[in-house]
A = this chain, B = another copy of it.
Amino acid sequence: MNSTKREGVLYVISAPSGAGKTTLCKEIIDIFPNLRHSVSYTTRTPRNGEVHGRDYFFVGKEEFSRMVEAGEFAEWAEVHGNFYGTSLAVLKECRSQGIDLILDIDCQGASQLKSRFEGGVYIFVLPPSIAELRRRLDNRSSDSQEVIERRIKNASGEIKEARWYDYIIVNDKFEVAVEQLKSVLIAEQCRAFRLLGSLSSTFEF
């Protein structure tokens, strides 16, 4: 009875750097056993502690270009001079296997997915304010002042994109943001259009 099998849900999260998206994603992965984090491909240099295959698949620009040409990406984008992409094969596999997938990607990639795939859930994480975003970036030892200034400048443009997302989570108090993200995931599992297929073996709709 393939027709009644539940499809995996695609959650797409975007945010300006420093809004706390990565920490939120890590927290939420531990709560939902059926949820996996999609590992992006990137041409950027690994940061301290980042592991190939866990945080990203680190590839060269040539390999990335080959994958783009071969249509192997569900979405890809250039961000701050580096390339990032999501494997189309992984996305399709998870959907058909009923595995939920969380994608932590930028607005350009999210926009591509929204136009290519139906049923995805688009979540934008906002900092409480630009001033608080600056404070958080200042406290993050990994970035130089030049990088911070560029991120702040980019943030204003990225935040404009929140408009077309399904949900906005303001990451002021972390526990509240986690509760909201968790609620979005649970609520989306209850969406009628996702359930009618599997419930049609019990009820006539």
CA distance A170 to B190 in the complex (A): 9
CA distance A202 to B170 in the complex (A): 11
- CB of B190 within 8 A of CB of A179, answer no
- CB of A168 within 8 A of CB of B195, answer yes
A184 touches which of B166, B190, B202 (Cβ 8 Å): B190
Q: A179-B186, A183-B183, A186-B183 are in contact. Are A191 and B205 (CB under 8 A)?
A: no
Say yes or no: is A162 at the interface (Cβ < 8 Å to chain B).
Answer: yes
A29 CB to closest chain B CB, in angstroms? 17
- CB of A167 within 8 A of CB of B183, answer no
Q: A162-B205, A204-B160 are in contact. Are A190 and B183 (CB under 8 A)?
A: yes
- CB of B187 within 8 A of CB of A167, answer yes
A187 touches which of B162, B163, B187, B203 (Cβ 8 Å): B187
- CB of A126 within 8 A of CB of B159, answer no
Binary contact track A169-205/B, C-beta < 8 Å → 1, others 0: 1100000000110111111111110011001001111
A163 touches which of B126, B184, B196, B202 (Cβ 8 Å): B196
Say yes or no: is A56 at the interface (Cβ < 8 Å to chain B).
Answer: no
Say yes or no: is A144 at the interface (Cβ < 8 Å to chain B).
Answer: no
Interface centre among A180, A186, A191, A199 (most CB of B within 10 A): A186
Chain B residues whose C-beta falls within 8 Å of the C-beta of A167 in the assembled complex = 187, 190-192
A172 CB to closest chain B CB, in angstroms? 11
Q: A159-B205, A160-B204, A199-B170 are in contact. Are A183 and B192 (CB under 8 A)?
A: no
A168 touches which of B162, B163, B199 (Cβ 8 Å): B199
Chain B residues whose C-beta falls within 8 Å of the C-beta of A57 in the assembled complex = none
